Structure 1
Amino acid sequence: MKTAESLYYNGTIYCSAKADSRAETVAVAGGKILFAGSRQDAEPYIQEETELIDLKGGVMFPGFIDAHAHPVMAAYFLSGILLDVNMGRQEILAAVQKYIGEYPEKETYFGHGYAEWFFERERLHKEELDAICPDKPIVITGSSGHEGWCNSKALEMAGIDRNFPDPVPGFHFFRRDENGEPTGNFMEMGCLSILCERLNLFEEETVRRQLKQVFEYFSSIGITAIADCGSLPFMEEMGLPIIADMAYDRSLRQRIFGCCFVARPEDKEGAVEQLRQLRKTYFLPDWLEMKTLKIINDGTMESRTASLSKPYLGAARCVSPMLEGEDLQDLCLDAAGKGFDVYIHAIGDRAIHETVLAAEKIRRAGFHKTRITNAHTELVQEEDIPRFAQWNITANTTGGWHYGTEDEKKTIGERADRLFPLQSILQAGGRMSLGSDFPVDEQGANPMISMETGVTRQLAGNREGLILQPESQRLTIEQMLEGYTASAAYQLGMESKLGSIEPGKYADFTVLGADPFEVETYQIHKIPICMTVAGGKITYKKE
């Protein structure tokens, strides 16, 4: 019998997301769980050298897994002008002017975080940024990262004029005036990639420092593993080696499960081979693995680039998915055949239907172990809901988005009352994983905010807030906890090693300051994170 290196006691310990799955103590050795059960039965594992860790009444769960985040992208997006979704137009312009005044030595400026719903009503124009800074490039992305705003100098230096072709017309495009000239507002990552690749917007040392802070932030909110859902290629060229260095010197605070990022139609050529090379280059078992093909197959509701089966209000035509039919299915089948998982960003019902068809083809080909995930899962055709279970598709979503606003009905009409039907997917036998989409989110990555919002379908902490209809789609706290633990572990193919507290699994734990099963519903978002443990190592402890 092994000796425990550490033993956790004096708290409420949930071995899974089930309210009745409790233990009195957990013993750990070699980064794994030795024992979970009664204090009396743990005695044989305790020796003089065992560290006794008093939970002081805290509430332990299996380590929370963020099943959709962008840590490398976060390091870039958060390294410049930080905006907020609650800012109005003049506040944004004032923040940009203030930052430029504080850093006049910079040759380029990048910002992130304005509310894209707001600017659906008031389009963005380069002249407003020109008035602040006419002689240096400015590029700003919206909160989702799927649209942006730039000044004339950025367009000029990137060579984008009336004759410059849009990357994917109608999907990835530069907005233009009646003369065909770019207005300074652009849609989707194909445009952002062009600007970032042609302009020197980021400094390596700043990105390196910011990436370290991103992982510290994730530890402070209880995250022990991350599904890294990718970044633009130029970001990963700098970011992935930094993460690898941290993994190899054992300073990495979360397990990172990465991907190859297909954001433009041309990216699909050679993508599976590129993923194979990434897996060989960046590999530390169960800590850093590149195992997923990620496809951005549509945009967002806010930017009107999500692919719907019927047009947006006031629009004459539908936005098509980036890939559809055999183009998408064959790419996914190639990935599955080479042992990779498939992860598809699909928000609109037309794009989600394409995910369903691709999953069907993968399963009919006999690849039943391939993990297939649909990211965001916002608007789903009724007939596709049971197909998540039928073809074993994990429905990934961000609980922090499940709240009502007036903007949705102005954009998609009565379809706004059918958003995020995750309860229906679960009731039909499907599986839900939860992630933050950080940094392209509005409420932050804290799982407690996500959990409350998913349970209430109201903005966290706002008891009188608009309820996202229908109320029947409200989720339970158990379902939310499952989405951050066992179901997220399944998405990663790590269910035998993560997602529950039981002997043989990794000692990844999240300790809360209150019991989410017990607190009043509208107080869930206030529950503090007291401790985070990854591989038996404490990565965060609340002072």
Structure 2
Amino acid sequence: MTTMFFHGGTVWTGGDAGAGPGVATGADPAAPSERALLVRDGVIVAVGTDAEHAASGADLVVDLGGGFLMPSFGDGHAHPLFGGMEDEGPDIRSADSVAGIVAAVRRYADEHPDEEWITGASYDGSLAEDGLFDARWLDDAVADRPVVLRAWDYHTVWCNSRALELAGIDAGTPEPELGEIPRRADGTPLGTLREWGAVDLVSAVMPPRSLEQGLRALERAGRYYLDRGVTWVQDAWVEPADVDVYVAAAESGRLPLRCNLALYADPRRFAAQLPGMVAARDRVVATGSPLLTANTVKFFADGVVENETGALLEPYCSGLHSHGMSVWGAERLAEAVRAADAAGFQVHIHAIGDAAVRQALDAIEQAVAANGPRDRRPVIAHAQLVDDADLDRFAALGVIANMQPLWAQLDALMNVLTVPRLGQERSDRQYRMQSIARSGATLAFGSDWPVSSGDPRDGLAVAASRRNDDGEPAGGWTPHEIVPMHAALAAYTTAVAHQAFAEQGTAPWGRIVPGASADLVHLARDPREVDPHDLPVIEIRQTYLRGIPRRSSERSVALHP
């Protein structure tokens, strides 16, 4: 039996663990903080003066050094295998020009002459006009082998001519269902492929990732997260081969942190998928791992604004795709959501545009009506645009809004690709985080890593300021949507734990209370007492998972961003 006593700093116990407004707004910012914590065998046994009175004979005494101990962060929407795989190919994430990407690919190809396919992720889609990249640019680096690169949004790939040839994509290839092949004036494919239907054409001829590659990627992702204070992550896009990776990791002791798998629902074959999803859930349960669950099904209601595939109630300014792309259509989405809900799964719906958000809410409402009351905690991820008429429906339906606070800033992606497509008035109604929280809905945070940084400090900084890295605009972009720091902390901890059904375990996590698992993060400073701009540089001194220190001795790892 091992006992740990923490003292000498602030112990923030977390927000209200219940659903609804308590989760959305977090703990009372005026509530007193505790000064001590006692943990025995990975479980919290006492807090505050009770911990001090029972601390004699502790095996390990941790002096917080004036720092801040809090529940560890959760990431309510991310793609850890994608993130971990980014180190398996050329380093294109750091490139700030098309020429830089091409040079990185050329260098990698020269260093790996035996690799039949050059694959990598992820490049900045704003580096080319309208996000359109030409195959011939990559041909200058590698012409004799296929090259396939993913964009930051993970909805787009850029191929060289050899990859297009092997995939059979040419001037005569029809536009695929649920995808787009941008073309030159003569009808030949440009080299950029958008959304699943198009991307799948090249994915189908690529060699599969090996199990060992997947395990390495998962371990890298674990190091990345644990070094940033995160101990639970929702993998929001899991296919059958990914289940194999997670099960193998759990069975071999290589699973680095808590994970829940959201099994990807493909509208082209969902009816055949559902029995396999149930079987995958059973496989995960059979591992007996306390760190792994597979309780969720992931739906895409639309694409992304940057590709003009996000589904909008009013058309895009350019009119290129008019109202965007509805992946399922309202009726089919509702039918599939009802089926997944009836099978006992939590539904997790990607919805970027306001039309997609409405479809997602409608589908959840119909599932509730058809399947009856239960504790389902459905999730709508991103919710970049929410119409006024739909704001109150999140709370009414018990829907968790899992939003990505880092995106709520005027960065290059917003200014170059998003605002021109939406127009100013609609752009200024994006990421209505505080409005959703005020409505009484549960607001939880996620990163969508590796689409954007998986470091909660980066997301917290923007949530609490609506300013970019340069501190602009001074008062914050759409400042009425700023989330107070105490509520932002709750959205990255207690609310994510609520999303994860964390309280249903034998040792729940997400709050610092007796009986909870000691999933903790030790920060050098109290984030409530610093300017949000300084949050990303607050030192994370240690991360604890079930009371075990898990942060690596290195200050950083080679993952991006």
Q: Which amino acid counterpart does residue 213 of structure 1 have in structure 2? A: R
Matching of residues 32-181 of structure 1 within 5 Å:
32-38=43-49, 41-44=51-54, 46-47=56-57, 50-84=59-93, 87-121=96-130, 123-168=132-177, 171-181=178-188
Native 8 Å contact 2:90 2:108 kept in 1: yes
Normalised TM-score (structure 2)? 0.89
Q: 2:432 aligns with which of 413, 418, 421?
A: 421
**Equivalent position of 1:348 in the other structure:** 353
Native 8 Å contact 2:303 2:325 kept in 1: no
**Equivalent position of 2:7 in the other structure:** 9
Native 8 Å contact 1:71 1:211 kept in 2: yes
**Equivalent position of 1:506 in the other structure:** 517
Matching of residues 216-295 of structure 1 within 5 Å:
216-231=223-238, 233=239, 236-237=240-241, 239-262=242-265, 264-283=266-285, 284=288, 286-295=290-299
| Structure 1 pair 392–490 and aligned structure 2 pair: CA distance change class (3 A) | same
CA–CA separation in structure 1 for the residues paired with 2:90 and 2:51? 55
Q: C-alpha displacement at 1:304, in angstroms?
A: 1.4
Q: Which amino acid counterpart does residue 272 of structure 1 have in structure 2? A: L
| Structure 1 pair 128–498 and aligned structure 2 pair: CA distance change class (3 A) | same
Asked if 1:197 corresponds to 2:204, the answer is: yes
Q: C-alpha displacement at 1:222, in angstroms?
A: 0.2
CA–CA separation in structure 1 for the residues paired with 2:130 and 2:294? 40
**Equivalent position of 1:322 in the other structure:** 327
Asked if 1:215 corresponds to 2:219, the answer is: no
Asked if 1:362 corresponds to 2:370, the answer is: no
Range with greater deviation from structure 2 (76-85 or 57-66) = 76-85
| Structure 1 pair 187–274 and aligned structure 2 pair: CA distance change class (3 A) | same
CA–CA separation in structure 2 for the residues paired with 1:289 and 1:374? 19
Matching of residues 327-476 of structure 1 within 5 Å:
327-365=332-370, 366-404=372-410, 405-407=414-416, 408-413=418-423, 414-441=425-452, 444-460=453-469, 462-465=470-473, 469-476=477-484
Aligned with 1:253: secondary structure? coil
Aligned with 1:162: secondary structure? coil
Range with greater deviation from structure 2 (330-339 or 75-84) = 75-84
Q: C-alpha displacement at 1:58, in angstroms?
A: 2.2
Structure 1 alignment gaps of length 5 or more: none
CA–CA separation in structure 2 for the residues paired with 1:320 and 1:146? 13
Alignment deviations for residues 295-353 of structure 1 (CA, whole Å, 9 cap, x no partner): 12211111111111122112152223111322111211122222110000000011010
Alignment deviations for residues 81-109 of structure 1 (CA, whole Å, 9 cap, x no partner): 22237612222222222222222222110
Q: Which amino acid counterpart does residue 241 of structure 1 have in structure 2? A: D
| Structure 1 pair 367–117 and aligned structure 2 pair: CA distance change class (3 A) | farther
Normalised TM-score (structure 1)? 0.92
Q: C-alpha displacement at 1:54, in angstroms?
A: 2.4
Q: C-alpha displacement at 1:188, in angstroms?
A: 1.3
Q: C-alpha displacement at 1:211, in angstroms?
A: 2.4
Aligned with 1:87: secondary structure? coil
Q: C-alpha displacement at 1:381, in angstroms?
A: 0.8
Aligned with 2:306: secondary structure? coil
Alignment deviations for residues 32-67 of structure 1 (CA, whole Å, 9 cap, x no partner): 2112221x654336436x322222222111111011
CA–CA separation in structure 2 for the residues paired with 1:230 and 1:542? 30
* Root mean square deviation of aligned Cα: 2.2
CA–CA separation in structure 1 for the residues paired with 2:496 and 2:269? 27
Q: Which amino acid counterpart does residue 11 of structure 1 have in structure 2? A: G
CA–CA separation in structure 1 for the residues paired with 2:187 and 2:123? 25
Range with greater deviation from structure 2 (343-352 or 466-475) = 466-475
CA–CA separation in structure 1 for the residues paired with 2:391 and 2:324? 22
Range with greater deviation from structure 2 (336-345 or 93-102) = 93-102
**Equivalent position of 2:485 in the other structure:** 477
Native 8 Å contact 2:211 2:244 kept in 1: no
